[in-house]
Every structure is written in C-alpha cells, then in structure tokens.
A and B are shown apart, each in its own frame.
Chain A
Amino acid sequence: MLIYAIKRILWVPLVMLVIALMVFVLGIYGPGDPVEVILGNNYTEELADSLREKKGLNDPVYVQYFRYLGDSIKGDFGESYKYPGKTVSELLAPKLVVSAKLFIVSILISTLFGIPLGFYAAIKQGTPIDPLVVSLTLIIYAMPVFLTAPFLIIIFALELGWVPVSGWGGIFDSRSILPAITVGMPGIAVIARLMRASTLDVLGQEFITFAKAKGVSRRDVIYKHVGKNAILPVVTVLGLSFSGMLGGALIVELIFGIPGVARFALDAIFSRDYPIIMAITLIGTATLVIANLIVDLLYVLLDPRIRYSNDN
C-alpha cells in the first residue's frame, strides 16, 4: 500500500515535467518565432533583437524550459503578448474561478443523479425500468452539449421564460441552472452506465447470495452489501469522466455567455497570445493529474481488498 502510494505520487511530477515540456515546445516553437508574434506589424530587426535579449530567447532551449518551469511552479506564467505589462496570472485567475465554480456544480449534478439512476436500474433488472434507463443513458450520452444547450434555452428560457437566456451571477444565481445541467448531462449518462454495470457485477457475486441466504433483509442487502461495494469501482473512473466533460463546459460557456476561461482562451488563440494558452493547458492538466492521484489513493484507502493485497 505504502509502496504503491509512493510510486503513484512520484509518477505525478514526472508526468508534469513531460507535459510542461510538450506545452513549452508547442507554445514557443509551434507557431513560429515568438518575437514576430509579439511585435506583429511593428517588426524591425533592432526591436526584435532587444526583445529577444530581454525575454531570454537567446539562451539555450533547456535553460528557457527550466526557467519557464520554475516560474510556472511559482504561479508566474509570464507576460501576455496581447496585453503588454499584464501577467498571465492576473488576467487568468478571475476567469478560472468562474469556470471552476460552474464545473464543480456540474460534477455534483452528474454524480448525484448518475449514481442513484444506475443503481436503481441495476436492482430493477428484469423489469421494463432497466432497459428504459439504459436506452435513456445511451441517448443522453450521444447528445453533444451543443444539442442540449439550444434545446434547454428554447424550452426553459424562451418559451417558458423561467430563467434568463445568458449571463452569469455566481452559482446561486438562476442563470447558472441551465449551463450546469447542460454540462452535467453527459456525465449523468456515463456515471449511470458505470454504476449499473458495477452494481450488476456485485449482485452476481457469492457474498450477496450468502447474505440473502443468511436472512439479511432485502433492503439491507441492497443498500449495505451491494451499494457500498458497487460505488467503489465507479469512484476510480470519476476523474476520467470529468475530463470528458471539460470540452462540454467550454462550449456551454460560449453559448450561455459565461465570462469563464473558454471565451478568454479562444481570444488568446486567435490573437496568438501563446503564454495564456500554455498556462491554461498546464493548469488544466495539473488539476486533472492531481485529481486522478487523489481518486486513486482514495480508492486504495477505501477498498480493503486492494489495501491488503498490495502489502504482500
């Protein structure tokens, strides 16, 4: 257990080193000479040379890489190309907060609805409820957010007028309801499918038969024996399904006019403001890698079978 945990934790900085290298190389060398990008039409040889000197672009690549790495660990992602004098961090931080809030609410929605739905479908296997839930999740899963979003807008905002069409006022504002549901929907489908499969798997195992034979009430078998054991495998893949919801979150921000990372990142891409793009990629990846680490360690901690089998 301890050895596994140490190995797993040491894997994180290694992955981040490689990812930072890729992001750095793509950001600095992918699009061409960064000095040309910064200066644009004001490009002259002298200006370019002095800028290169100032930004340390004449240093060897590995020096630049380690400098970027050291700075970004301290939260300094350099200066924006488009807004000279402003650091990437101060531009990005408020947008990240908005996006993170929306994403957390969506994760809660997909987990809180997905797990009971899948569980319910599995214990109702053999009744029409199970195939109904399964086909429902298949349909929802294939629905891209740019299908869900306009439909929800047309029905709830334009026809019924229950909520405003777009805007943002924090997560406790009525304007956050539709976007959060839209982002969370595919997550509900994924998690419900996983939970259903996992529950069915547990239901077929011998200790459930044994518990029933022992005379444990049906209610206790389902909630204490099946439920607890079925949730564990779902926990491990939560991290993955969240990374799948990320793209949806970006689109939803654009459609609902939420002042989060999406619009900011797109503007940065079209104005070739690479330090911002690099920072967003790096922060997003680091968050996911660490979230997956926590999930993996939690899983080992929660499941006694793994906890003990790894000790030998």
Chain B
Amino acid sequence: MCFLTQGLGIAMTINKDQKSTSISPFRHGLNSLLRKRVAMSVIIVLLIVYVVGLFAPLIAPYSYSETDLMNTQSGPTWDHIFGTDRLGRDIFTRIIWGIQTTVIITIVGLITGSLILGVSLGLVAGYFRGKADAFITRTGEVLAAFPDILLIIILAATLRPRIVDFARSIEDSSGINGIVSSGIVDFAVIGIALLPLSWFGMMRLVRGQVLSVGQREYVQAARIAGASNLRILFRHILPNVIGPIIVSASFGLGAVAGTEVFLSFLGLGVQPPHPSLGIMIADVTGRGSSSVSVLTNHPEQILAPIAIVWILIFCWNLLGDALTDIFNPRSK
C-alpha cells in the first residue's frame, strides 16, 4: 500500500498550497474509492495478506524449515491446522512465510521497476522529448518484442551465478556471514529479472500523460513564472498524472506476484529451504509420478497455496478495475 500513502502525501501538500476549496484529483479518487464496496473489501483482503506476510516471523507457529519425519503428510490436525508436507513441515507456517516472499517481491518489484524506473523515464521522455524520448521508447519497444517469460527466464538463469558470486565476495571482504543463505540473493535475482519488463508499460503510460499535460496552460504559466524543470515536473505534472499511475501499479502488482510464483515454481526464483508459494505448488504438482500420489491422497496440501496466489492476483486486478473506473474521466 506504500504507493497509496505516497500519493496521499503529494495530494495533501497540494491541497495545503492551494488553500482553496477545490480538491485534488487524488483526493477525489480516494473519496470515490471509499464509497465503493467492492474496492474496499478488496483493499481489506489485500491489507490482511500483506500484514500477515510482513509479520510472518511473529505469526508463524513453527519454523519453516523444521522437519518432523515421524509426522509427514498428516492432514489437518489441531497442531498443524493445514497439515504437514512430505518432510513433516507445517504447511500453515510455510504458507505464511511464502506469503512474505511474494509480498516482499511485489513491493521491491513495484518500487524499483515500475515506480522509480518507469515513472522517471516516462517523465523524462514525455517532458524533454527529442533524442531522450526516441532512445527510451525504442529501447522499450525492443524489450517488449521479447516474450516476457523467456526474457525473465534467461535473465534469472544467467545472472544467478554472477549475483551469488558477488554476494560471496561481499561476505568474504566484509566478514558478514549469511548474505547468501539469507535469501537476499533470490530477491535480487527475481528483482533484476523483472526490471527490463516492468518499467516499459509504466513509462509509456506516464509519457503519454506528460505529453498531454505538458501542453496545458498552467504548465506554461509555471514555466513563464520561472519555475525550474524539476519543479514543473514534480509539482505540476506528476500530481496530475498520478491516477493512471496508481491504476497501472495495481495491475502490475498482480503480475509481479504471479511471476514470482512462476519463477519459484520452475526452481529459478526463491531457492529451498526458503519457502515460496511457487515451491509449495511445485512440490505437489510438478514432480511427475510422485506428485500424482500426493494429489490423489492429500489434495488439501495444494489448496491453501493456490488459493492465496489466486486471491492476490484476483484482488490486484479487481482493484485495478475499480481504480480505472474512478480515475478514468470518461467513466465518471
């Protein structure tokens, strides 16, 4: 929800400046959002998932890697409410930690990729135009020609050894142990693999918005009044294009969550023993004949992980739809 509060801050500062009764586009959007029942329930569900994920260490009853070989595939009991997996690990605990993985990836992916990179490149391309615009747009078009999944796979596959080596060298030189085993490397691999894709949609969107907003009278007035480029960009243009940015970010988060689960399912994302919803799903479905027996005898093992993945993607898409209705002037 970080982008919401961020946007709220921007909108509030504008309101303070204006000292008038007019409300900012963002405040208007927030008001109509609060009135929508579907959107509010979606936001509450997402908030619960994110809070559970971020506070996983406090909520989880067991350790995610603690095995109990005397008690494998137990099915739901009072001690293990979702049962245990083939190594006797508590499924409930692993789901909570898996949520944390996905939640962190969505936040990291959103902030690095689409927000920082996409928005700033879009502002640059739309505002300065000319060569910068041509270069950024062409680069994006070439990257967009890649099938997303193949680019993500080749990046995750080829960069992992390099990133692991880099983390090891930091460990050696700084004397801090456990960087590789902490799982930060996995987050870095997934984050970098998502980077070339996540920025382009956002960039194109922001660029288009800036192109149209940049021609308005108030921007020209600000320029005549002697405002610097940076001030025009961040005080006058950005607040007015924030609506589409939020809509696109909402859809983007669903996609990022899906991609993390996808990569971890393939074994290219988060590495065991760190739990991920993708790994848990792969444990039950992706291991050939042994998984068929699990699927036959213990279908409940896969229920919770896929339900969570589905809820995450579904809620972000639904929220995106609701936000489109709110920010799209034609649908008012």
When chains A and B are docked, how far (Å) is the Cα of A130 from the Cα of B317?
19
Across the interface, A138 reaches (CB within 8 A) one of B155, B296, B299, B318, namely B318
Pair A144/B150 contact, Cβ less than 8 Å:
no
Report the stretch among A53-61, A83-91, A262-270, A298-306 that lies at the interface.
Answer: A262-270
Can you pick out 24 interface pairs between chain A and chain B where the beta carbons lie within 8 Å of each other? A15-B142, A15-B145, A26-B154, A26-B158, A27-B154, A27-B158, A31-B160, A31-B161, A143-B310, A144-B258, A146-B261, A147-B310, A243-B148, A244-B148, A246-B149, A250-B149, A251-B265, A255-B286, A280-B150, A281-B150, A288-B146, A288-B147, A289-B145, A292-B145
Q: Which chain B positions have C-beta within 8 A of A142?
A: 254, 310, 313-314, 317
| CA of A147 to CA of B308, assembled, Å | 10
**Please, which residues of chain A bring their CB within 8 A of the CB of B141?**
15
Within 8 A of B (CB), among A247-285: 247, 250-251, 254-255, 257, 265-266, 269-270, 272, 274, 277-278, 280-281, 284-285
Cα distance, A277 to B266, chains bound together (Å): 14
Is residue A154 contacting chain B, with contact meaning CB distance below 8 A? Answer: yes
Q: Hey, what's the 0/1 contact readout for A137-180 against B, CB within 8 Å counting as 1?
A: 01101111011011001100010000001100000000000000
Chain B residue numbers with a CB within 8 Å of A255 are: 285-286
Q: Which of B155-210 contact A (CB under 8 A)?
A: 155, 157-162, 165
The verdict on A2 contacting chain B, using a C-beta distance below 8 Å, is: no
List the count of A-B residue pairs having beta carbons below 8 Å apart. Answer: 124
Pick from B146, B267, B306: contact of A146, CB below 8 A: B306
Name the CB-closest residue of B to A240: B144
Q: Which residues of A contact B258 (CB under 8 A)?
A: 144
Bound complex: CA A278 to CA B154 (Å): 8
| Chain B residues in 8 Å Cβ range of A266 | 266-267
Q: Given A154-B299, A285-B146, do A147 and B306 touch, yes or no (CB 8 Å)?
A: yes
Which chain A positions have C-beta within 8 A of B299?
150, 154
**B266 pairs with A250, CB closer than 8 A:** yes
Distance A139 CA – B146 CA, assembled complex (angstroms): 27
Q: Which chain A residues lie closer than 8 Å to B165 at the CB level?
A: 32
| Interface positions of B from 47 to 87, Cβ below 8 Å from A | none
What is the interface size of chain A, counting residues whose CB is below 8 A from a CB of the partner?
48
Identify the closest chain B residue to A158 (Cβ). Answer: B296
Q: Which label, helix, strand, loop or mixed, suits the secondary structure of the A interface? A: helix
Known: A250-B266, A270-B267. Contact between A144 and B306, CB under 8 A? yes
Tell me if B's interface is mostly helix, strand, loop or mixed.
Answer: helix
Determine the chain B residues whose CB is within 8 A of the CB of A243 once the complex forms: 147-149
Closest to A292 in B: B145
Q: Is the CB of A246 within 8 A of B314?
A: no
Chain A residues within 8 Å of B150, by CB: 246, 280-281, 284-285
Indicate if the CB atoms of B262 and A265 lie closer than 8 Å. Answer: no
Which residues of B have CB within 8 Å of A254? 266, 286
**A19: CB under 8 A from chain B?**
yes
**Interface size class of chain B, counting residues whose CB lies under 8 Å from the partner chain:** 35 or more
In the bound complex, what is the Cα–Cα distance between A139 and B155 (angstroms)?
Answer: 30
CB distance from B169 to the nearest CB of A (A): 13
Tell me if B302 counts as interface (CB < 8 A to partner A).
Answer: yes
- Among A139, A142, A149, residue most surrounded by chain B Cβ atoms (within 10 Å): A142
Of all chain B residues, which has the CB nearest A142? B314
CB nearest to B286 among chain A residues: A254
CA–CA, A264 and B153, complex, Å: 13
User: What are the residues of chain B within 8 A of A277 when measuring CB–CB?
Assistant: 153-154, 157-158
Across the interface, A141 reaches (CB within 8 A) one of B148, B261, B317, namely B317
Are B295 and A158 in contact (CB-based, < 8 A)?
Answer: yes
- In the assembled complex, the Cα of A31 lies from the Cα of B158 at a distance in Å of 5
Chain A residues 109 to 161 lying within 8 A of chain B, measured CB to CB, are 138-139, 141-144, 146-147, 149-150, 153-154, 158
A165 to B314 CA separation, bound complex (whole angstroms)? 28
A6 within 8 Å of B (CB atoms)? no
The answer on a CB contact under 8 Å between A32 and B285 is no
> What are the nearest 6 A-B pairs in CB distance?
A30-B158, A142-B314, A247-B149, A147-B306, A243-B147, A269-B157
A232 touches B (CB below 8 Å): no
Is there a chain B Cβ closer than 8 Å to A213's Cβ?
no
B310 and A150 form a contact (CB under 8 A)? no
Add 9 more A-B contacts to A18-B142, A250-B266 (CB < 8 A): A15-B141, A30-B161, A146-B281, A146-B309, A153-B295, A254-B286, A269-B153, A278-B154, A284-B150
Residue A23 at the chain B interface, CB threshold 8 Å? yes
Q: A274: which B residues are within 8 A, CB to CB?
A: 158
Residues facing A in B283-305 (CB within 8 A) are 284-286, 288, 292, 295-296, 299, 302
Interface contact A32-B162, CB-CB below 8 Å: yes
